[in-house]
Structure 1
Amino acid sequence: MIQQIYPSAVHPFQYELNKDMQFAAAHYVPGPGAGQCGHMHGHTYFANVTIAGNQLDENGFLVNFADVKKLIHDRFDHTVLNEHTALFNDQDPRRYPTTENVARTLYELVQDFLDQTPARPRCVQIFLRETPTSYIVFRPAAGGTYGS
């Protein structure tokens, strides 16, 4: 794993958990202006998930690292992102598997999981590197969700 320095998410919580992971996935961007990205191609994505909260669970965890890995790595590794049709689709530009939309989708998956836990920690940042020179940082909007 590459040693990485991430942009910091400002938050008021006592605990901050960061989980790094890689997953290899193919995709294409169906938009008319996608250029070369309109062709099927693959990346070794590098993701960092930042979760924050004040309460630990009965095991002393903010969240189990293994659960975060299952949500992302185990779901997407060695797949074609476009084939995850419940998450991405070729008709809606807000759901094309661009790096921006993939980062937001990772946030949604993680936060949906966290909302079902007793302590309800918050996903405060997704850092998603698509190539060695290109990455996206997604943070939820204050006071709202995507599309609000």
Structure 2
Amino acid sequence: MLQQFYPQVFHPYTYELNKDMHFAAAHFVPHESAGSCQELHGHTYFVNITVAGDELNESGFLVNFQDLKNIVHKRYDHSLLNNQNDDFNDKNSNDFPTTEVVARKIYENIQSHLDTLQNQPKCLQVLVRETPTSYVVYRPKASGKNLE
């Protein structure tokens, strides 16, 4: 396995967990300035999720790795992202399935799950690599409610 290095998130938490995964999906960007990305095409997306917190759950986990994989992989793998209507649409550019928006939606879905956990871990960053040479990092602003 190729060793991966990711941008670090500086934080005050005791524990930091990182989960790598990948999924294969197709998409198109519904805007005339998207160039060739307007056409239906696919990627093998590589994702890294950083979660942190101070308390472990009753199983001794910050969060179960499998839960993170299920939230992302089961939702997006072998799909047309444009058809994931809970996450994406063709009316608002903030909801087009660009790599930036994919990273933010993964963050939102992960944090929604984390908010239900008693130990209250926080998703600090989501990195989405669309190609071998292009990736996006999404981090919520430190002043946001999710990093209090």
TM-score range, shorter chain: over 0.9
Stretches of 4+ aligned residues off by more than 4 angstroms: none
Q: Which residue of 2 aligns with 1:133?
A: 133
1:1-148 equivalences under 5 Å are 1-144=1-144
Secondary structure of the corresponding residue to residue 104 of structure 1: helix
RMSD: 1.2
Q: What CA deviation, in whole Å up to 9, does each residue of 1:31-86 have, x standing for no partner?
A: 12100000000000000000000000000000000000000011110000000011
Paired with 2:5 and 2:86, the residues of 1 have a C-alpha distance of 32
- In the alignment, structure 1 segments of 5+ residues that lack a partner are none
> Are residues 28 and 70 of structure 1, via their aligned partners in 2, closer, same or farther at CA, if it must alter by over 3 Å?
same
* More helix per residue: 2
* Counterpart secondary structure, 1:43: strand
Structure 2 residues not aligned, in runs of 5+: none
Shift of 1:2: 3.3
Write the distance in 1 (CA, Å) between the matches of 2:22 and 2:35.
26
TM-score, with length taken from structure 1 = 0.96
